[in-house]
Homo-oligomer: A and B are copies of this chain.
Amino acid sequence: MTAMNLVLPSRAAGPPLVSRLAASAAVVEGGVMSNAEVLAWLDERQREQQQHVERVPFAALRGWRFDQRTGDLRHDSGRFFSVLGLSVHSDFGPVRTWSQPIIHQPEIGILGIALRDFDGIPHLLMQAKSEPGNVNGVQLSPTVQATKSNYTGVHGGSAVPYMDLFRRPGPGQVVADVLQSEQGSWFLHKRNRNMVVEVGPEVVAGDDFAWLTLGQVNLLLRHDNLVNMDARTVLSCLPDWRGGRENLVEDAGWSLHTGREVRTWITRRRAEHEVSVAPIPLAQAQGWLRTQHAVTHCNGLYFDVVAVDVSSRGREVPAWSQPLLEPRGMGVAALFVKRIDGVVHALLRARAEPGFLDVVELGPTVQCVPENYEHLPEADRPPYLAQALARRESARYDVVLSEEGGRFRNAQSHYMIIETESDFPAMSDEFRWLTPHQLDELLCYSHHLNVQARTLVAALRSL
- Residues of A in contact with B (beta carbons under 8 Å apart): 106-108, 110, 148, 174-179, 193, 259-261, 263-264, 267-268, 270-271, 274, 276, 357-358, 444-447
Contact = CB atoms under 8 A, between A and B. Distances in A.
For this chain, the copies found in one complex come to: 2
Given A270-B108, A276-B106, A357-B358, A445 B263 contact: yes
A263 B178 contact: yes
A177 B263 contact: yes
Contact of A267 (B106, B148, B193): B193
6 contacts: A106-B276, A175-B260, A178-B263, A179-B271, A260-B444, A357-B358
A177 B267 contact: yes
Nearest to A169: B264
A177 B263 CA distance: 7
Contacts of A447: 358
Given A264-B174, A357-B357, A270 B179 contact: yes
Contacts of A259: 444
Nearest to A175: B260
Contacts of A110: 271
Contacts of A270: 108, 179
A274 B261 CA distance: 35
Contacts of A176: 260, 264
A208 to B, nearest CB: 25
Given A177-B263, A178-B267, A263-B178, A358 B446 contact: yes
A263 B148 CA distance: 21
Given A357-B358, A446-B358, A108 B271 contact: yes
A261 B174 CA distance: 8
A111 to B, nearest CB: 11
A298 to B, nearest CB: 30
A108 B447 CA distance: 18
Contacts of A107: 274
A110 B446 CA distance: 23
A271 to B, nearest CB: 4
Given A108-B271, A179-B267, 9 more contacts: A106-B276, A108-B270, A177-B264, A177-B267, A193-B268, A259-B444, A267-B446, A358-B446, A445-B445
A385 to B, nearest CB: 29
A271 B446 CA distance: 12
A458 to B, nearest CB: 19
A268 B358 contact: no
A410 to B, nearest CB: 30
B357 A263 contact: no
Nearest to A107: B274
Nearest to A270: B179
A433 to B, nearest CB: 15
A193 B276 contact: no
A276 B104 CA distance: 13
Nearest to A278: B279
